[in-house]
Chain A
Amino acid sequence: MQEVTQATMEFMKQYWAPLVCGLAIVAVLPLIVGYVVLVERKIMADMQARLGPMRVGPHGLLQPIADAVKLLIKEDIIPDDADKLVFWLAPVLSVGAALLAMAGLAIGPAFQIAQDINVGILFVVGVSAMGIFGIVLGGWASNSHYSLMGALRSSAQLVSYETAAGMALVCGLLFAGTLNVTSIVEAQRNQGIWFGLLAPVALFTYLVASIAETNRAPFDLPEAESELVAGYMTEFSGFRWSLYFLAEYTNMIVVASVATTLFLGGWLRPFSETRWLNFIDFFPPLLTAVIGVYCLMRTPKQPARVQQLFMLAVAGLCFAVAAVLASPVLVPIAKPSLAAAVRPFYAGIHGGFWFIFKVSAYIYFFMWLRFTLPRYRFDQLMRLGWHFLIPLSIINVLLIGIAMIVGVYYHLNGWRLLLATLPASIMALIIALFILALDQKGEAQKAPSRAPDSYA
């Protein structure tokens, strides 16, 4: 009897736990994405001297739900001349690829769907790149020139920037020596330094390439609203459009997570191995508590009773999260005997916090760029990719490889590895600037006095 139970448990663990996790992601992610959009709109409003959504719920907190309901009940329009099957398939493909990529991520040491996948980071990158099919097919199937041009731009952009992103990932993987997501973070814990610090140029390259891959400004050419109306999504509306939207934001979360895992120490606290900096552990609960206090302070200012209650609820939620975050830190201080029992929870809870915190910071940077910079033109985008980013990333891989060999030779590890990698990064940067100068010089010579050929 016991054996049967155990076998059943094993079976459940093997097949059903991932399924449940997957379903949870599929169910919760749209909500998360909705709130990411709300946060983006709020940040945008803040940068643009206005308030942003304020009507639905206090400070627009219910806006994503209202938007989702609106999108769901909108009329579903498929253009007459569209390729119906492909038109139907394309957004699903996009969103499916994005969600599938989430499966390979590890948000904490404990929370991962495809747990022992050996090629973790490659899986995430490869599967999320498949979402491009959705964009190209959607653009083609719409039978509209704007959509088609958006689709073509998008495919060219992906092909150009995937290389740079891949090369940047290689730098991180050189340090990690594994493709497994969990092991990569463990390697950073063992080194005591994030790979982003060891290879800042790779981090930069990945940052730029990931913005281009997720079609975010200033590289949002496939959907440039002032040129191509909405690019590949021009003919999509309602629910299908929201699927594209979901895919785009999920992809943002995916690339941010990849960068966090590989370059920013995953779920590790900053200086996780430095004992005397352990007070950083108080930061997460304090942060959430401060947000809670702010909500509490704003509560009396809400115009309606319902909104006041809602604000109170948000404050309560913040305090609850703060309490959960504080418990693994405070319990060992209060009762040293429980320290060992609490330790695993610390890794899970604080790991999750730090991971989400870093991902948010990365996404915030995306948003910041979007509201600050104008959009690149297509030929400029290609030039940046091929003339600058790809050479830079390849040279960087080479130099980091040499630095690794030097590091092995002199038994450098941890922070001391910087001695080898820092000169490598600086050299890569100098070479990159040289390439840039060379490129611009060539351009200046080529530039004709009248009616410049933009393909030059």
Chain B
Amino acid sequence: MASNTIAGTGEKQQTLLGADELILNMGPQHPSTHGVLRVKLKLDGERVIGSECLIGYLHRGVEKIAENRTYQQFAPYVDRMDYVAAVSNGLGYCEAVEKLLMVEAPPRARVIRTILTELQRIASHLLWLGTHALDIGALTPLFYCFREREEILKIFEKYCGARLTTHAFRIGGLQYEAHDTLEKDVERFCKAFEPRIKDYEDLLTQNRIWLGRTKGVGILQAADAIALGATGPVLRASGVKWDIRKAMPYAAYDQYKFEIPVGATGDTYDRYMVRMEEMRQSRLICLQAIENIPAGPIMAKVGKVLKPPPGEVYHSIEAPKGELGYYVISDGTVQPYRVRIRPPSFVNLQSFDHMVKGHLVADVVAIIGTLDIVLGEVDR
């Protein structure tokens, strides 16, 4: 049963006890590959000696679709990439096209965008926390996380009628005025959320098993993280203080005070701590933002038909999973000439092989979980 050769070379690699290595095909249908990721693992007993990620099971050709749609028509498609953080995706795209059009969203729109995007970050991190804990075997945090995520989705629903693929923003601003209770809803959520984070931490942070499963697992050092192009919490957990919200502020982030949490060793535990702290910071940003939402229009003066001048623009935002960039080329027509998307999940997934070597099978799922990938975004 355990006889296999390394793919391609035909050469047999000897392992401990002289047994042959085992090739385990994890996914695309596996409970904890977060969708349809397929990982081929070369195992010596239970230890991973090599891995290969096979992707593309959820490829829908989003970038190609962009070339056959007008700028406005394409906006809902980006929601379908990282479907657990649709608001952030939309924000990146809208801002990129605004840059191309050389317009700026009015201040009111920018503040509301900030609030919704930060709520989305919390929602995305909550989903990550729940599934990550589930991968490591803790069943209960998932349901607690979904309870809070539900509140956020209710706010989205109240705002724009959709919960998941929201299409909340429009190029040039917002389509909908904020509903009357937006501030109150967000405030209520933020008030309730603080003790809830403590609940999750009570269950996990000091738990000996959790520490054992996450500390020292999947270490990604700062230099490696930069070399592999990792961004977002994965990069910050390695100790690199890089956050586009601070480095190149967009929306209304320059108005608010918040910290960028960084880790020290870059292991799974640090990534966990960084994301937990990020949720707290996002909550603080939301609280600051609802204090003072400026009055005024919500839509900049853009025409019904968008015809950006010929040119190209790259705009990136700090999505919950890392740097989400849109590279849009316009040839002066109503349709973009080319849209290239830099998805954070796809780039972060590169570090998987680096992180997983020498670990056990159980750590593979922990590392997939800690990278926080969404296959819709990886495959696009």
Using a CB–CB cutoff of 8 Å, the interface residues on chain A facing chain B are 44, 47-50, 143, 145-146, 148-149, 153, 217-218, 220-221, 224-229, 370-380, 447, 450-455
Q: Which of A50, A149, A229, A377 contacts B143 (CB 8 A)?
A: A50
B50 contacts A by Cβ under 8 Å: no
Whether the pair B203, A372 counts as a contact (CB closer than 8 A) is yes
> Which residues B213-261 have CB closer than 8 A to chain A?
213, 216-217, 219, 221
Greatest chain A CB density within 10 A among B22, B24, B139 is at B139
Q: Verify A44–B362 contact, CB threshold 8 A.
A: no
Which of A226, A373, A378, A379 is the one whose CB lies under 8 Å from B209? A373
Contact A226 B365 (CB under 8 A): yes
Residue in chain B with minimal CB distance to A143: B1
Name which of B71-79, B174-182, B300-308, B353-361 contacts chain A.
B353-361
B360 close to A224 (CB less than 8 A): no
Which A residues are CB-close (under 8 A) to B207? 373-374
Residues of B within 8 A of A143 (CB): 1
* B161 contacts the other chain (CB 8 A): no
Q: For A49, A217, A375, which residue has the most chain B Cβ atoms within 10 angstroms?
A: A375
Known: A376-B209, A454-B360; 14 extra A-B contacts, CB below 8 A, are A48-B143, A218-B137, A226-B32, A226-B137, A227-B361, A372-B140, A372-B203, A373-B209, A374-B204, A375-B136, A378-B46, A380-B213, A451-B358, A454-B363
Contact between A447 and B216 (Cβ–Cβ < 8 Å)? yes
CA distance A217 to B139 in the complex (A): 10
Contact of A224 among B137, B138, B209 (CB under 8 A): B137
Asked whether, in the complex, the Cβ of B136 is within 8 Å of the Cβ of A48, the reply is no
Mark interface residues in B358-380 (1 if CB within 8 Å of A CB, else 0).
11111111000000000000000
When the two chains form their complex, are residues A452 and B140 in contact, meaning their CB atoms are under 8 A apart? no
Contact B147 A451 (CB under 8 A): no
In the A-B complex, the 7 residue pairs with the smallest Cβ-Cβ separation, listed nearest first, are A375-B137, A48-B143, A226-B32, A374-B138, A374-B137, A374-B136, A226-B135
| Bound-state Cα–Cα, A254 to B200, Å | 34
- Closest chain B residue to A450, Cβ basis: B219
A44, A379, A455: which contacts B139 (Cβ < 8 A)? A44
Q: Give every chain A residue within 8 A of B203 (Cβ-Cβ).
A: 372
- Tell me, in angstroms, the Cα distance from A453 to B365 when the chains sit together: 17
Cβ of B360 and Cβ of A451 under 8 Å apart? no
Do A452 and B31 touch across chains, with their CB atoms under 8 A apart?
no
Inter-chain contacts of B139 with A (CB < 8 A) = 44, 48, 217, 370-371
Contacts of B57 in A (CB 8 A): none
Q: How far is the CB of A52 from chain B (nearest CB, A)?
A: 11
Q: Are A377 and B362 in contact (CB under 8 A)?
A: yes
Interface status of B47 (Cβ within 8 A of chain A): yes
- Assembled-state Cα–Cα distance A406/B356 (Å): 55
Q: Which of B1, B142, B213 contacts A375 (CB 8 A)?
A: B213
User: Is B144 close to A, CB under 8 A?
Assistant: yes
B62 at the interface (CB under 8 A from A): no
The residue on B at minimum CB distance from A225 is B31
